[in-house]
Structure formats: structure tokens, C-alpha cells
Amino acid sequence: MLRLLKIAVNRKLAAMCALLAVLICVGTCIIGYIVYRDSLYKSANDFAYQLDEIARTYVNGDRILSYLETGTEDAEYRAMAENIYTLYRNTSLYDNKAGIYICVPNAAELTITNLYDVRIEEYLEDDRYEVFGIGVTDPMGIEHPENAIRIYETGERVDDYFVHKTRFGYNSSAMLPVYNSEGEIVALIVTDMPIPYLTESLNRFLFSTIITTVIIVFLFMIGFLFIADKLLSRPLQIISEEADSFTRTEIQLSQRLPQIHQKDEIGHLAESVYKMEKDIQSYVENLTAVTAEKERIGAELDVAQHIQAAMLPCIFPAFPERHELDIYATMDPAKEVGGDFYDFFMVDDRHLAIVMADVSGKGVPAALFMVIGKTLIKDHTQLHKDDLGEVFTEVNQLLCESNSEDLFITAFEGILDLVTGEFTYVNAGHEMPFISRGGGDFQVFKIRAAFVLAGMEGMQYQYGTMMLEPGDRLYQYTDGVTEASDDNNGFFGMERLEASLNAHKGDLVKDLLIHVKQDIDAFAGKAPQYDDITMLCLEYRERMQEKPEQK
């Protein structure tokens, strides 16, 4: 089996080398072909322009159009033709049936009218003679006639290749304007460079490149496979054998892996496999103890979660005997235990207190600090129900004295007088609540937030007041609601929260919180929950009838 593994590795290396060879050959040939082709075409085009420049010196711009008007030649015309023909015979144009000609383009009809064509000298007996005569009109045979028209109208030289098919094959044309003595453009002189001539040179270059590349890559591949078998396949075979033996002999350490002393990746792999064997052996020995410890911690966290849930008011309806109010709250921790907490309780027969708070951090430390904060707030509210500012002032001082972990709490507390509807509140760095008046839309109740609890000693907190009427609702929450994120790290935010509240404003307070949580879950999708999500909604239904002893 291991021999087959070695053969498989060698085959894969050979296949990879072959693929690499093909890629190198193809890449080299393509890049070389493109570079050489562009260079060759540019050189040919530049040479064509040089021929144009020379041929233009033989043309009399003041006389050239007169031949078109009369349709006859004279001695000066024949001298021009002889000079251009001599230039033509001394270049590669002659052997490749290309040429030099003079014409006048027609922009409207995209045609050219011939004034002279050097190929007349070679094809006097040819049936195509008439296409070269003076005054003969021929379609403009290039792919971009607008460039020829622009040269004729402006004299601007265009360096792009004019590649087009003629009766004599594909040519690349270079065009220059012919001027008269007044500087006017009267004609174009054109030199055609034969594309087949250039293609032959390209093909020779491509063939020699392919042959050279294949030979070099083939020799390299043979040498590489020989070295790879010695430095790669054999050590890999040993590593594979020892790894298989380790799994079959119930984690017995290898004796051969330490004998691989290569100072390369294979040697590092052998060292890593040997180290892995030792680590696995050590891990297996400790696995039972670690598993037992994890199960113990999980059981304790489960108990802690139940204890924390039991500390929060969780029986609803909370005050079934009271018709003046309806209240509901939920807390969904991000971990087994959370740092958020809510509370509500009757301070006396006519005053209801609500608390919403969020401890910095997560997990057990935050949960323990939550217990301390919740207890202190409730105890001091019983003592100072008429001054919530004093409640938070004293709680802050006590929390600062026992805050070795530098935690802090954002908290909101309010007390509702069920008789008058007066609602006193204090805010220590917490979110602003939403208020719904008489069953209308929820709106943010903008209040100034003081500094957080346990953040700084000596802080003095002030309370505020507002009036609630029967039918009014108050919604309070922690930042886990607005900062719930989706897969794109976008936040649920205040605007979505307000829209969700108003979409379900007619629901009972319990259903309202359930629907808001459903909207949060729908927004978050499969994104994990990073923070505790805690919400509370209080509805003031009707005024409490004041008893004489309550006055």
C-alpha cells in the first residue's frame, strides 16, 4: 500500500511538472509572441512612414491634382513615377505585392480617387489594370476610414495600424498628407506593408520559442523528479508509514521520525508529526480529566443561569389583583449568565418602581456584579423612594468601594405614583426610554443621562419627573436591543426599534415585547448574539383610587 502511495506521489509530481511545463510554454510563447508582434508591427509601420516621407519628396503638390483634372501624364509625372518605383523595387514591398500609391479620399462616399499607383508598373498586362489608373475611384478598403479622412482633413498623423484586406492580401497602411506650396492638403500618399510577410517572421519566432522552451522545461522536469524522489517521496513514505502505525498501535510513539534530519519543509513536517504524536499522547492522557472538569463547569453555569433567572421577576401577570397597570419584561443572555438585569416592585401600596440596568462585561463577573447592583438599588429605593437621586448617589458610592474588577453599570430607575400618574426617574448613563401617549406612536423620551454607576466616587445624581396619563406606555431596554447586528455587521438601531414598537403598538405589553424580539431575530438572521437583550414595558391603565390612609 505504501509503495502504491509512493507511486501515486511520483505520478502527481510528474503530472504537476507536466502541467507546469505546459503553462510555462504557453505563457512564454504568448507573451513572447505579443511582445515580438507589437515590436515587429511598430517597426514595419515606422518603416512604412519612412517610405512615405521619401516618396512624398518626389511629388509636386502644386501639379498633382492637375493630372486628375486632365487624366493625362507628362514628363514630370513619369519622373515621379520612376523615382517611386525605384524606391519600391529596393524594398520588401516588391517581393510581397504591396505598394505605394497617391489618392484623394472622399469623406462623404468613403472612396478614394487614384492619382498614381506603383503597382501599375508590375501589372500592365493584368486584367485589374483599370483600378490603378488616374481618376479611377475605388472603395476605401480600411477598417477605420475615419482615420484616413482625419489625416486628409487635418494632416494629423495616426500611429495606429491600418490593417485591411486588399486584392493582394492583408496590408498595414501608413498615410501622410501631400501639401501644395500654400500649405493645403491636396492628396494622401499611402504605403502598404504586407501582413503575410510579417506573419511569416512571427511564425518562425513562435516555432523557435516553443522548441527551445519545451527542451529546457523537459530537462528541468527530469532533474526535478529525480531530486523530488530522493528528498520528497521517500521521506513522505516514512512519515505516512509512521502516522499509520501511530493510529494502529494505540498512540505508540514513532522511532523512525526522529531519524529524518532534512533541514527543509519535509524535515519540519517530520518534526511536526512527531510532536503531534507526543501532544496527542499527552492530550489523550488528560482528556478524561478535562472532560470531567468541563462537565462540572457546565453544570455549575447551568445552575447559575437558573439562579440568575430566579432573581428576576418572572411570574406574569406580575400584579393580577391590580387593574391600574400591566407590566412585562424579558432578558435573553448572550452567554450562560448575563450582565443585564431588570426589576419591578411595589415600594408601597401606591408606588411602583421599575429598574433597567446593564453591567459592563459578560459572563460570571458581570452576573455577580449584577446581583450586587440589583440588591443595592432595591434596598435603597425602599429607604429613599422620594429622592431617586439620593438612591443612585448612595448605590454608586457603595459599588465604587467594592469594585476591584473596574466594572460599571448603566441604570435607569423610575417610580410611578399610581394615584396621580407622576413618574419620577433617574438615569445613570442608560438608554433613553420610549413613551406612547394614549395608545399613540412610541417616541423617544429625551432625558439627560448622568454618569454610570461604579464609575467614579462622589457622584451626585438628580432625579426628574413627568406625568403619565391612563393609556400611556413606557418601554425601556438595554443596548443589546439597538446594537443587535446582522451578518453584515449592521446594527438594529433606534429607527428600526421605533418602527417595530409602532408596528405593534396595539398589542398587549407581553405580545409587544415578543414581537419586538421576533423583529430583532429576523434582522440578525444567523449572526451570533453578542450582547444580552433585555426589555421592559409598563402600561398605566387607570388611576388608583386614593384611600384615606394613603394621603
Digit-coded pLDDT (tens) for 2-17: 444 455 556 666 677 7
Residue 388 host element (H or E): helix 388-401
At residue 420, the pLDDT reads 95
Handedness of CA 419, 342, 330, 463 (dihedral sign): positive
Chain segment 254-270, per-residue pLDDT in tens: 656 766 767 666 666 76
Ramachandran class of 429: left when φ > 0, alpha when ψ lies in -120 to 50, beta otherwise: left
Question: What pLDDT, on the 0 to 100 scale, is given for residue 490?
Answer: 93
The C-alpha cell that represents 370 in the structure block? 449584577
Confidence of residue 469 (pLDDT cuts 50, 70, 90): very high
Backbone phi, then psi, for 327, in 5-degree steps? -145, 145
CB atoms within 10 A of CB 197: 17
SS3 call for 415 = strand
Cα 69 to the center of its chain, rounded Å? 68
Q: Which grid coordinates belong to 356?
A: 433597567
pLDDT in the model for residue 294: 66
Residue 232: predicted pLDDT: 62
Pick from 143-157, 210-224, 260-274, 416-430 the range whose average pLDDT is largest. Answer: 416-430
**How do residues 390-399 score in pLDDT, each as one tens digit?**
999 999 999 9
**Residues 91 and 84 sit within 8 Å (Cβ to Cβ):** no
pLDDT of residue 259: 67
Has residue 445 got a pLDDT over 60?
A: yes
Contacts of 395 (CB under 8 A, 6+ apart): 373, 376, 377, 380, 453
Geometric angle at alpha carbon 304, from 299 and 308, rounded to 5°: 155
Closest alpha carbon to 84 in 61, 109, 57: 57
Q: Is the pTM of this model over 0.85?
A: no
Name the nearest CA neighbour of 147 among 135, 133, 136, 163. Answer: 163
* DSSP string for 192-245: EEEHHHHHHHHHHHHHHHHHHHHHHHHHHHHHHHHHHIIIIIHHHHHHHHHHHH
* DSSP bridge partners of 536: 329, 476
**Does residue 376 contact residue 395 with C-beta atoms inside 8 Å?**
yes
Task: Give Cβ neighbours of residue 141 (< 8 Å, ≥ 6 apart).
Answer: 164, 165, 166
Q: Are 330 and 517 in contact (CB under 8 A)?
A: yes
